[in-house]
Chains A and B, each alone.
Chain A
Amino acid sequence: MSGHISVENVRKIYQTGKDSVEAVSGASFVANDGEFVAILGPSGCGKSTLLMMCGGLESITSGKITIGGTPVTGPRASVGVMFQDSTLLPWKTVRENILFPARIQHRTLQDVGPRADELIELVGLGGFADKKPHQLSGGMRQRVAICRALVTDPDILLMDEPFSALDAMTRDEMNDALLDIWDKYRKTGLFVTHSIREAVYLADRVLVMTRRPATVVADVRIPFGRDRDQSISSTPEFTELCAYLRNMIDQERIPGRSVRRVKAA
């Protein structure tokens, strides 16, 4: 229950000087404990904003977000976050970077050390624990970022397009690594992406968002079990789901506005 996220009629208006931008307009959804939910939508539609509000990193203009039944008012230790860039601290080793949030939260090394080592092995960074970020590839840095987000054993992991800066092959690898992690540590996951394929491959449910001001227009259940692998992506079911979602996103395009098509990777 502690990983349950409920978003009720949430709005977000950014006020910059005289301008105000309505980024999210009346979004509602629920993510159950242990569920992996992908949020799909065109860029600039307000996905990051919604995710940041769930993480307590952005204020909510109106509406309500609760996690495990209590309203979100700020960042909390039970929520891990990951972003498009890994933002590793260049002077810290892989292991020190992973332990950083634990250190901030005054957790002892006896407490989190073994878990850090376990995560390092799980994502295939064994042997790199004492390397500095400049010695790692983009994919490896993002693996470090995953470990860092999980080191304090949060109930929820929020991911904002974590793999969209990576090349297609590395991205597939990272998707598989994430599936492995989900097998081992069942968390509630919110995963923002604009790749339809990635969303279907990873998630239990896919939420489709409209253009700004964004709201959730569809909630699609993905029928594959958690023990999936790349072989599902060649099934007709998978292709159909992708086509269905693509169609839905295309219909959301507002006539008369020039709109970049959402790309399926």
Chain B
Amino acid sequence: MSEISLPRSTSPRNPRISDASLSVLLPVGLAVFVLVAWQIGAKVSGISPVILPAPSDILASYNGIVGDLAHQSVATGSEAFFAFFLSCFFGLITALVLSSSVILFETFYPNLVVFQIIPKIALAPLFTFWLGIGATSRLSYAVFISFFPVALATMTGLSRADAGALRLCRAAGATRWQTFFHVQIPYSLPYFFSGAKVAATLSIIGIVIGEFISANEGLGYFILRAQSYGQTSKIFAALSVLCGLGLLLYVLPVQGERMLRKWWRGS
């Protein structure tokens, strides 16, 4: 019944050390340390670059494949973005519809929770079987796996509106729909965005898995091709691009969350 809290950064704060510089320096420092250790370890141990290429080998392998990588990234990135967008849209719609009636909610929510637990990666080949090899099957699969977290999180949010606000609606004589629109939906938005963050990651995973199974372009295809030629450093090069794509997509729900906080808190 107190003020609702939006998800915030949960890092413990030390007031004595400058906040901003610390929260940049520490993670960047760790990343640099790991890269340096990797570089030295790979070179000193004498492990073959085919097994574990050093960061410098990976950098070198970009040479001559930048154009190809860019092309594959556009293919994967655009499909992943589209999958992300669709899963947010369908996730939201599903949550709104299923939460609009107690009977629908009670019928579907537990089933969705159970369904969420199924390792849906195992279903990827089925999508190829049903929808053929192509963008449709990859997209459907990616949306299929990423829409659940959005739908579930939003449904949870819709059912957890502030008790005081609900009582306020009741006292004012609000209809169920008024309560839904004026209170439940706004209170579910933080949950929607945390679901969307998970969906951002899963959409890329879905598209890449699709490309592993059936594709003649995209980063997943690129990785498989590099693997068959034993070009390990190219695999890592593609992985680093995938990381970048993932971050780009992840920024969207984070930005949404920031806008929401601004709307609610003015900060």
Contact = CB atoms under 8 A, between A and B. Distances in A.
A57 B167 CA distance: 8
B172 A87 contact: no
Nearest to A149: B171
Given A77-B173, A104-B172, A134 B266 contact: yes
A100 B183 CA distance: 11
B186 interface: yes
A91 B263 contact: yes
Interface residues of B, number: 24
B148 to A, nearest CB: 27
A104 B165 CA distance: 13
Contact of B173 (A76, A85, A87, A90): A76
Contacts of A90: 3-4, 264-265
A104 B4 contact: no
Contacts, number: 61
Interface in B83-106: none
B174 interface: yes
A45 B265 CA distance: 37
A91 to B, nearest CB: 5
Given A104-B182, A132-B266, A87 B171 contact: no
Q: Which of A75, A100, A104 has the most CB of B within 10 A?
A: A104
B162 interface: yes
Interface in A99-128: 100-101, 103-105
B1 interface: yes
A104 B180 CA distance: 12
B170 A75 contact: yes
Contacts of B230: none
Interface string B224-267: 00000000000000000000000000000000000000011111
B41 interface: no
B172 A100 contact: yes
Given A85-B1, A89-B165, A105 B173 contact: yes
Contacts of A29: none
Contacts of B162: 87
Contacts of B2: 85
A81 interface: yes
Interface in B171-209: 171-174, 178, 182-183, 186
A91 B172 contact: no
A135 B3 CA distance: 13
Interface of B: 1-4, 162, 164-165, 167-174, 178, 182-183, 186, 263-267
27 contacts: A57-B170, A75-B172, A75-B173, A76-B173, A77-B173, A79-B171, A80-B171, A87-B164, A87-B165, A87-B168, A89-B183, A90-B4, A90-B264, A91-B263, A104-B172, A104-B173, A104-B182, A105-B172, A132-B264, A132-B265, A132-B266, A134-B3, A134-B264, A134-B265, A134-B266, A134-B267, A135-B266
